[in-house]
Structure 1
Amino acid sequence: MPQVVIYLTRSCPFCNMAKRLLDGKGVQYEVIDIGNDRDAWAALEAKTGRNTVPQIYIGEHHVGGFDDLSAADKRGQLDTLLNG
């Protein structure tokens, strides 16, 4: 299974929903809290082109935020990415 990384803030409800979705699939993931780190937030924004959290990576693939993760799950693409 490829490495899964979630960039988040602790107070973000969408971040918690993303973690619950992945937890429900038994996925282990790395959490990177950027809530109090402006430089990390700016670097993530430069990398993704987005200024929101969560931002989720599966391997080198940028899934996007919770809505993107949920949509990929509903289409069956999330399991494909996780088993990649």
Structure 2
Amino acid sequence: MNQIKVYTTNTCPYCTMMKNFLNEKELPFEEVNVQEDSNVADRLVKMTGEMGVPQTEINGQWILGFDPEKVMELVK
């Protein structure tokens, strides 16, 4: 089973694209909205060094932005 977590904000079009892509591929994921929780946003920046969203963690590997090819490489 894949462990997928998508870090998003309310206004990010690429976040929506990533969520739609995962849904189309029937890959279950957990969404974490960093706009609603600044503590989570701070932790995310510390973990990845990146401010942008979406950031997607798949089985311990990180993807910045909307990168469907990379998603398919990382899922089992």
* Distance in 1 between residues matched to 2:17 and 2:3, nearest whole Å: 19
* Distance in 1 between residues matched to 2:71 and 2:43, nearest whole Å: 25
What is residue 3 of structure 2 aligned with on the other side? 3
Alignment of 1:15-34 (within 5 A): 15-34=15-34
Alpha-carbon deviations, 1:19-63, whole Å to 9, x = none? 111111111000011112222111101101100111001011112
Of the two, which has the highest radius of gyration? 1
State the identity %: 30
> What TM-score does the superposition give when structure 1 sets the normalisation length?
0.80
The Cα shift of 1:10 comes to: 2.0
Q: Is the helix fraction higher in 1 or 2?
A: 1
* Distance in 2 between residues matched to 1:37 and 1:80, nearest whole Å: 30
Q: Number of paired residues?
A: 76
* Distance in 2 between residues matched to 1:25 and 1:63, nearest whole Å: 17
> What TM-score does the superposition give when structure 2 sets the normalisation length?
0.87
The unaligned stretches of length 5 or more in structure 1 are none
